[in-house]
């Protein structure tokens, strides 16, 4: 349906009257369609109502195109913007109540809101706060204005901030948003000299040792309270990776006794650590 809206329909008695210069309002794309809206409100859903809706949309389509033109050069084609604006126009026609005032006063914010939602919901690869989107737009416009001045160099952050009435922190946020308008796949191929690799290849991997930090800190106090021989046995087993046979030879005891000492010491440390956590005291 929206494709058909891109080109106004051939003149009918209603549209010819609406498009005549004598009936235009403040804008040359604001026709007088009061009679059409009165008829639209009277007919029931069906072919006749659809036909009247089409005439209203065709009559007001130049206004929708004018609104879409305000958002050109923002990363979206003008034709797509006109389609979005036409969709907003159709919704405005369907929801308009002639008893509440002029159609233009209702349609302009409705269509503008539809185009803005398109940028907010469709153009950004990631959902970002509206405040950040507004900063991006203000920074983009300000930088373009400064860059168009004769003999001007690349605008600095301070210059953009002064021109846009923003702080330098806000300008930096807007500049970052301008570079984050779209995302890059982790499978995207990069190249450095003769070497090709993907973006995922540049990412680090989790260090398994981090998972042991909390456990080690929780075990410190219990280790300090063990007898010296048990501490030495645990050190040899878990830090020197010594076998139970080697530990038994070192201390002149049986391998079975070494096994019992290791199991008992570990159980004691674990129980003390859990007890300290249950009462909310630090383990170390």
**Hey, do 2-123 and 210-278 end up sharing a CATH topology, with the first three levels equal?**
no
φ, ψ dihedrals at 208, nearest 5°: -60, -20
- Residue 18 CA to residue 25 CA, distance in Å, equals 10
- Give the per-residue pLDDT at 248: 92
For the segment 24-43, the average pLDDT, to the nearest whole number, is: 75
What CA–CA distances, in Å, run from 37 to 216, 231, 264? Answer: 77, 91, 89
The yes-or-no verdict on residue 63 having pLDDT over 80 is yes
| Overall pTM surpassing 0.85 (yes/no) | no
The yes-or-no verdict on residue 27 having pLDDT over 80 is no
- Give the per-residue pLDDT at 130: 73
- What fold is seen in the domain 2-123? 1.20.120
What radius of gyration, in Å, describes the C-alpha atoms of the chain? 36
Q: Which residues contact 248 (CB under 8 A, 6 or more apart)?
A: 254, 255, 257, 258
For the segment 10-38, the average pLDDT, to the nearest whole number, is: 55
- Give the per-residue pLDDT at 184: 62
Ordered by start, the domain boundaries in the chain are 2-123, 130-185, 210-278
Which of 17, 23, 21, 31 is CA-nearest to residue 89? 31
The yes-or-no verdict on residue 129 having pLDDT over 90 is no
**What's the burial of 223, exposed, middle or buried (CB within 10 Å: 0-12/13-18/19+)?**
middle
- Residue 87 CA to residue 2 CA, distance in Å, equals 7
- Residue 181 CA to residue 172 CA, distance in Å, equals 15
**Residues 156-197: tens digit of each pLDDT:** 899 899 988 999 999 888 888 776 666 666 676 766 666 677
- SS3 label, residue 182: coil
The yes-or-no verdict on residue 150 having pLDDT over 60 is yes
Tokens of 46: 């069906």
Give me the residues paired with residue 195 across strands: 192
Weakest-pLDDT range from 58-67, 137-146, 231-240: 137-146
- Give the per-residue pLDDT at 6: 42
Using alpha carbons only, what angle is made at residue 139 by residues 136 and 141, rounded to the nearest 5 degrees?
Answer: 105
For the segment 206-229, the average pLDDT, to the nearest whole number, is: 79
Q: What does pLDDT average to over the chain? A: 78
- Give the per-residue pLDDT at 60: 92
- SS3 label, residue 159: helix
Domain at 210-278, CATH from 1.10.357.10, 2.40.30.10, 1.10.10.10, 1.20.900.10: 1.10.10.10
- Residue 175 CA to residue 135 CA, distance in Å, equals 8
Q: Which residues contact 128 (CB under 8 A, 6 or more apart)?
A: 177, 180
**Residues 92-126: tens digit of each pLDDT:** 999 888 888 888 888 999 999 888 888 766 665 56
Which of 131, 155, 134, 152 is CA-nearest to residue 143? 155
């Amino acid at each position: 349906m929206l494709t058909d809206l891109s080109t106004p329909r051939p003149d009918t008695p209603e549209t010819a009257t609406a498009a005549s210069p004598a009936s235009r309002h403040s804008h040359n794309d604001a026709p007088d369609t009061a009679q059409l809206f009165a008829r639209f409100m009277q007919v029931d859903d069906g072919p006749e109502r659809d036909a009247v809706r089409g005439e209203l949309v065709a009559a007001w389509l130049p206004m929708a195109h004018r609104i879409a033109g305000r958002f050109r050069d923002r990363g979206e084609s003008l034709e797509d913007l006109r389609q979005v604006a036409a969709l907003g126009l159709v919704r405005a026609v369907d929801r308009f109540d002639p008893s509440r005032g002029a159609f233009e006063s209702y349609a302009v914010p409705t269509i503008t809101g539809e185009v803005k939602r398109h940028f907010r919901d469709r153009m950004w690869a990631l959902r970002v706060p509206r405040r950040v989107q507004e900063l991006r737009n203000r920074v983009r416009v300000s930088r373009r204005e400064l860059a168009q001045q004769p003999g001007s160099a690349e605008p600095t952050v301070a210059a953009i901030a002064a021109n846009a009435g923003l702080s330098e922190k806000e300008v930096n946020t807007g500049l970052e948003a301008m570079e984050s308008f779209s995302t890059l796949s982790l499978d995207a191929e990069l190249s450095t000299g003769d070497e090709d690799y993907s973006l995922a290849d540049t990412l680090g991997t989790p260090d398994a040792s981090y998972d042991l930090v909390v456990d080690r800190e929780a075990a410190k106090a219990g280790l300090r309270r063990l007898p010296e021989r048990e501490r030495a046995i645990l050190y040899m087993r878990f830090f020197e990776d010594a076998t139970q046979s080697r530990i038994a030879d070192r201390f002149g005891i049986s391998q079975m006794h070494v096994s019992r000492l290791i199991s008992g010491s570990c159980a004691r440390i674990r129980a003390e650590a859990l007890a300290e956590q249950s009462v909310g005291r630090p383990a170390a």
